[in-house]
Amino acid sequence: MRTSKIIVYSPGRANLIGEHTDYNDGYVLPFAIKRYVKIEIQPSNVFKIYSEQTKRGIQFHKLEKTNSWVDYVIGMVVKLMERGYEVQPFDMRIDSELPMGAGLSSSAALEVGVGYAITKMMSYDISRVELAEIAHACEVEFVGVRCGIMDQYTVALAKEGHALFLDTLTKEYKYVPLRLDGAKIFLIDSGVKHELGNSEYDRRRQECEEALLMMRKKSFREVTLEDVEKLEDEVLRKRAQHVVTENERVLKTLSALETDNFKLVGKYLYESHYSLRDNYEVSCPEIDFIVEYLEGHPSVYGARIVGAGFGGSVIVLAESDFVKIFEILKDKYRNRYGIELKMMEVYPSEGVFAHE
C-alpha cells in the first residue's frame, strides 16, 4: 500500500453521437473532455471525505447508503470489496470543475476517479475495463440509476485526440482519430435541468424492453426498420425507430470521419437531435431553441442534445468563428428564457490519470 498522497484527475465526457443506444445493445462515439473531478487520497485510520464544493467533510464507519453524493464513494468501496479487493480506510478530498446536471457525466467521473484513486493507493493492478465495470455496478446497483455503460467506459478508457467507438453489446471498442483541422467542438450548457430526467430515463428503458418483446427480438442488434414499422403501438414504434436509426448514424459518422467530412458528420448530428426530439422525446424547448437557431448558420456543421436529455448541454461542431454566432444566440436565449448560456470549446482528451 502507498502512504504518500495521490492526486487523480477524472474527466467528464461528451458524446459525438449514439444517444440512448448504450442500454439497447447499440453503438456510441463519446470522448473525454479536459474538465475534471480532482481526487486526493491518502491512507487514514477512518474513512474521511471532504468536498470542496460543499465545504463539508464527513467520516463514515459503516458502508451503507446515505442517499447523497457520498454514495458514489461508498458504493465504489463496496463494489471493490465485493470483487475481492481489500480497501483500507482513507482520507479523501474531492474538488470538481464539472457542473452537475449539464449532461457531462460528473457522476461517472466521480465513480471512476474514486475507484482509480483507491486502486492506486492500494497498489492494485486493475484493468481500465474492470474499473469501468465496477463503476457501472456502483451506479446501477448501489446508487440505483439504471444507466448504460457509455459514461464509465469513456472516463476510464478515453484517449487524447480520439473518440471511443464502443459496441455496447460485445463491449469491443476502438479509438477513432478526431482530426479536427478546420473544425471545432463546443459544448453549450443550456442551464436547464428538468427533474423528470431520471424517471423518464427509466421509462424509456422500459419502453425499449417492451418494444423488443413485441417484436419478439432478444436484442436491438437483430432489429431492422421493417420490424419497427410493424409495431402497432405508436410510442414504442417511435422509440425503436430512434434506436435503430441512431445506430446507423453512428456507423455513418465513423465513415464520414475517415475522410474528415465534417459537413456530413454535422448532418448526422442534426438528424440525431431531431430523432431524440421527435421519436425518443427526450429534448426540451430550451435545447430545441438552441439547435434550431444554429441550424440556420453555414459555419455550423451540426448540433444536438448530449447525454440523457431533458436539459443539459448541446454539442456543436462548427468553424472557429462560431464564437460570434454564440454571442447573438446568448442574447436571444437570455431574452427568451432569462438564462445566461455558457459555452466551452472541448478537445477529445485522456481518460482518468494520476499525478503521484
Sheet holding 162-167, edge to edge: 27-28, 162-167, 173-177
Residue 105 or 119: which CB sits closer to ligand GLA?
105
Count of residues touching ligand GLA (by CB under 6 A) = 11
Give SS3 for 54.
coil
At 69, the amino acid letter reads W
Which region holds residue 105: left if phi is over 0, alpha if psi is between -120 and 50, else beta?
Answer: left
End-to-end CA distance of the chain, in Å? 14
Out of 10, 16, 22, 72, the only residue in the binding site for ligand GLA (CB under 6 A) is 22
| 92: number of Cβ within 10 Å | 22
Piece in contact with ligand GLA (CB under 6 A), picked from 65-73, 121-129, 145-153, 156-164: 145-153
Residue 311 CB, shortest distance to ligand GLA, in Å, is 12
Give SS3 for 186.
strand
Out of 307, 311, 348, 351, the only residue in the binding site for ligand GLA (CB under 6 A) is 307
253 makes contact with ligand GLA (CB under 6 A): no
Residue 208 or 228: which CB sits closer to ligand GLA?
208
The catalytic position among 22, 71, 91, 151 is 151
Q: How far apart are CA 39 and CA 117, in angstroms?
A: 7
105 makes contact with ligand GLA (CB under 6 A): yes
106 makes contact with ligand GLA (CB under 6 A): no
Residue 330 CB, shortest distance to ligand GLA, in Å, is 25
Give SS3 for 9.
strand
CA distances from 17 to 41, 50, 219 (A): 34, 35, 20
| 193: number of Cβ within 10 Å | 16
Closest CA to 57 of 8, 100, 90, 99: 90
Residue 14 or 78: which CB sits closer to ligand GLA?
14
Out of 12, 16, 20, 138, the only residue in the binding site for ligand GLA (CB under 6 A) is 20
Out of 276, 308, 315, 329, the only residue in the binding site for ligand GLA (CB under 6 A) is 308
Q: How far apart are CA 181 and CA 179, in angstroms?
A: 6
Q: Is 151 a catalytic residue?
A: yes
Out of 9, 23, 90, 280, the only residue in the binding site for ligand GLA (CB under 6 A) is 23
Helix boundaries (H) for the chain? 71-82, 106-121, 128-137, 150-157, 197-214, 225-229, 234-258, 262-278, 285-295, 322-337
Out of 29, 109, 150, 300, the only residue in the binding site for ligand GLA (CB under 6 A) is 150
137 makes contact with ligand GLA (CB under 6 A): no
197 makes contact with ligand GLA (CB under 6 A): no
185 makes contact with ligand GLA (CB under 6 A): no
Residue 209 CB, shortest distance to ligand GLA, in Å, is 14
The residues carrying an active-site annotation are 151
Residues interacting with ligand GLA, by CB under 6 A? Answer: 19-20, 22-23, 105, 147-148, 150-151, 307-308
